[in-house]
Amino acid sequence: MTRLPSFSPGFHAVVIGTGGIGRALAELLADDPSVARVTHLGRSTGLDLAEPDSISAAAATLHTAPDLVIVATGVLHADGLAPERDLRMLSADAFARSFAVNATGPALVAQAFLPLLAKGRKTVFAALSARVGSISDNRLGGWHAYRASKAALNQLIRTMAIEQARKNPASLVVGLHPGTVDTDLSKPFQRNVRTLFTPEESAGYLLGVIDRLMPADTGKLFDWQGEVIPF
């Protein structure tokens, strides 16, 4: 049974990101009988969000118009990068690295891939965001660079959705919060998590949300249940 009956049969899906959620999304889409082709892109295929030329080069390799593009990337911690607990931990490098992957990179992917989306039928460009990027939902503080970069992504999603609706009215641009997923990104922060999803569980929920999207939903941020998260 198809997970995405709202899309035209035989459609082309593009997944960008080779982490746990990206791999799970690509595998579920590849097993879906309504999906004719899955293009899975990431560093292993030459697409690096920090290298704009690699993004445009990857877009140029597509031979058929995509109907679904999912940017399943993000960085919270890495060598020399960790969520800040207070202002004393802020650094310019942390902000630069967080914005490059969490905001600028997805925006450049949209710049390259949105014009390629099929016209005259439902298409979706979705990027993984996070609930902690919601300004109105911020009650704990901390995680300054990550929160700010995801808030920037949410603003970009809203702005790109407005422009895309003028050019391609059946095309949606949305942000998706996948929940807390058992991946490298969340591993150091799982101790007090009530609900921890496997990548496959989260990917399945996200595809369900994407399938239920209507034109009026463009420009919004949805959690894994399909509930709107206020910016």
Q: What is the DSSP string of 102-170?
A: IIIHHHHHHHHHGGGS-SSS-EEEEEE--GGG-STT--S---HHHHHHHHHHHHHHHHHHHHHHHH-TT
More confident residue, 78 or 103: 103
**Vertex 228 angle, CA 227 and 231, to 5°:** 150
pLDDT at 145 over 80: yes
Q: What are phi and psi of 228, to 5 degrees?
A: -75, 130
d(CA 221, CA 231): 8
Q: Can you name the CATH fold of 11-223?
A: Rossmann fold (3.40.50)
Instruction: Encode pLDDT of 184-231 as tens digits.
Output: 888 777 777 788 999 999 999 999 999 999 999 999 999 999 999 999
| Residue 216 DSSP code | G
Mean pLDDT of the chain: 95
Domain ranges of the chain: 11-223
Enter the pTM of the model.
0.95
